Chain A
Amino acid sequence: MSDVVEKTLTALPSLLSLDSQPGSAKLSSNSKLGNLIRGITELTSKHEEEKLIQRELLLIKEQVSSPNTTMKQMKELMVRAIYCEMLGYGVSFSYIHAIKLAQQGNVLEKRVGYLAVSLFLNEGHELLLLLVNTVLKDLQSTNLIEVCMALTVVSQMFPKDMIPAILPLVEEKLNHPKEIIRRKAVLALYKFYLIAPNQVQHIHNKFRKALCDKDPGVMSASLHIYLQLIQENPEGYKDLAPSFVTILTQVVGGKLPMDFNYHSVPAPWLQIHLLRILSLLGKNDQSTSEIMYDILDESLRRAEMNHNITYAILYECVKCIYTIYPKSDLLEKAAKCIGNFVLSAKINLKYLGLKALTYVVQQDPKLALQHQMTIIECLDHPDLIIKRETLELLFRITNDQNVTVIVEKMLDFLRISKDDHTSMDLVGKVAELAEKYPYKCFSVCI
């Protein structure tokens, strides 16, 4: 893609100024949006851009309010409004028309109307109530595209008080023959759970059904919900641990359809989700952890290929192994894995290796010691993020001997850091260390 982009960049001025270029037919040379963008590109100052867009907005405002504007024209106006809004200009006059477009337009006009609504409005907006009836109607439509659109908008924003009105319709979609609708319904219900948990208490058994859905896509969507539910209350879901282990075993064993493979790895994102869930369930619980050991071993073994996504799975595996009830040979393999990450030339892996070390250092301080040369090298790494992560790690392994050096390094970093958030965090850490080792830090901090 980058070659094409380079070519395009150099061709940009000529493409935009000559309407007769063949490529520009693709670039909507006749559209008003095209003209607007061409206009903006030719300007040289922000002030001129503001003037042009304000003029454009006045024009749009006039046309959206006109009774003669067709839905087709409204759709085009709305796209321009979306574009202006993205650049930071207020388009509140168009909100009501976006809702109207979603209500009255045909399918493709409705799509733009819903898009505009999802970009302009929010849960608490008073105008959102006007959309409720449209959404209710579309959820019952025979046109599946309309049902999907309604579900999408509902998961982005929906007035909390109106949830009881829509809940039965969304629930019913959980049994829809089409997989994509069941999947979207699951995510919509998850959103409802997040904003109004007591409204969806009674349908937890339906989530279980989604977990056992014959389509892996729907099951995958239900994991979002389970991750949240289990985070809030791990005890309540221990009985599901065997099911999650079984699912992961099947996925890793390649039992899913080929479609779910990504660069020859079976459903990696699904594996990552499952590993997170398992670590929550196995924490401090020996019997639950015991059923996971085999599949964790298998996952570690399988994820040997050289692709980003297998490293992602390995990382989750390693974290899981360190979170659940410990098993020595698994821990050994995980430690080796972390070592590989930290020593890797790939910078993203180094970063994750450091993060993993920070995570496990309480349990396994020897591991950090084993890699101390690499850690010290990372302190001088050109990437500030790596430096910062190293300091985070060092903070956790400070003792009487090394505190002076560590505080010195932190102060060095503070001198060059330009990010307020990081600086604040580090200052806090330095203060904490100073309190803990007052005599050691005294001379450094002066």
Chain B
Amino acid sequence: MIKAILIFNNHGKPRLSKFYEHYNEDTEQQIIRETFHLVSKRDENVCNFLEGGLLIGGSDYKLIYRHYATLYFVFCVDSSESELGILDLIQVFVETLDKCFENVCELDLIFHVDKVHHILAEMVMGGMVLETNMNEIIMQVDAQNKMEKSEVSASPSVC
């Protein structure tokens, strides 16, 4: 099960935070800070798996992360998930964002945080992986966005 999905930049500024288990606001911020602290210390040539640290809970949880230029994508998962499987899932997520936003960059995530959430919701539901195929995810998001096109005529849509 996926416990949380975090995206933050090289300075620790959160760009997306989704928790699939309840934590109060302060704890959530602490988790983001601690995760950034753990992940930013890592060099480029080390493995992409980390133990979760005291906060997110004992040894059953691990952090699986990928660093793309200015952004860290971190999935906090329990032992029921395959480490390499999640690593590739992050790649699928990023490729999907890339397709939806046309060469996605950090600015897209900042200005369209709700759209990123909608895309993520078609991939992970309630902490469980729902869909791993990029085209399927995009199809679902497109279907929702078509509603947008029929409602609002003027403003451009990004997907």
Contacts from A to B (Cβ < 8 Å): 1-2, 4-9, 12, 15, 25-28, 31, 33-34, 37, 79, 82-83, 85-88, 90, 106-108, 111-112, 115, 119, 122-124, 145, 148, 151-152, 155-157, 180, 183-184, 187-188, 190-191, 217, 221, 224, 227, 259-260, 262, 268-269, 272, 276, 308-309, 311-312, 315-316, 347-348, 350-352, 382-383, 385-386, 388, 419-422, 425
Contacts and interface: CB of A to CB of B under 8 A. Distances in A.
B113 A82 contact: yes
Contacts of A425: 59
Contacts of B50: 385
Interface of B: 13-14, 16-18, 20, 22, 25, 28-29, 38, 43, 45-54, 58-59, 68-71, 80, 82-85, 87-89, 92, 94, 98, 103-107, 110-114, 117-118, 121, 125-126, 128-133, 135-136, 140, 143-144, 147-148, 151-152, 156, 158
Contact of A348 (B43, B84, B94, B118): B84
A399 B8 CA distance: 45
B2 to A, nearest CB: 11
A316 B125 contact: no
B123 to A, nearest CB: 11
11 contacts: A1-B104, A6-B69, A85-B25, A86-B113, A88-B29, A155-B126, A187-B126, A259-B133, A268-B85, A348-B49, A386-B46
Contacts of A351: 47, 49
Nearest to B140: A180
A386 B134 CA distance: 32
A112 B22 contact: no
Given A6-B69, A86-B113, A1 B53 contact: no
Contact of B156 (A12, A26, A83, A217): A26
A141 B150 CA distance: 19
A294 to B, nearest CB: 22
A96 B1 CA distance: 29
A90 B18 CA distance: 16
B46 A382 contact: yes
Contacts of A124: 22
Chain B binding surface SS class: mixed
Contacts of B46: 347, 382-383, 385-386
A174 to B, nearest CB: 16
Nearest to A8: B105
A315 B104 CA distance: 32
A107 B130 contact: no
Given A33-B111, A221-B130, 20 more contacts: A9-B70, A28-B112, A79-B113, A90-B25, A106-B151, A107-B144, A115-B117, A145-B144, A148-B140, A190-B128, A217-B131, A259-B133, A269-B132, A312-B84, A347-B46, A348-B48, A348-B87, A350-B47, A386-B47, A419-B53
A25 B20 CA distance: 34
A269 B129 contact: yes
Contacts of B113: 79, 82-83, 86
A268 B43 CA distance: 29
B47 A348 contact: yes
B84 A145 contact: no
Contacts of A224: 128
A220 to B, nearest CB: 9
Contact of B54 (A259, A309, A382, A421): A421
A420 B47 CA distance: 20
A87 B16 CA distance: 9
B117 to A, nearest CB: 5
A301 to B, nearest CB: 19
A324 B53 CA distance: 32
A184 B68 contact: no
A-B pairs, top 8 by smallest CB distance, nearest first, are A155-B126, A312-B84, A5-B69, A122-B22, A8-B105, A383-B46, A2-B69, A88-B29
A34 B22 CA distance: 29
Nearest to A307: B88
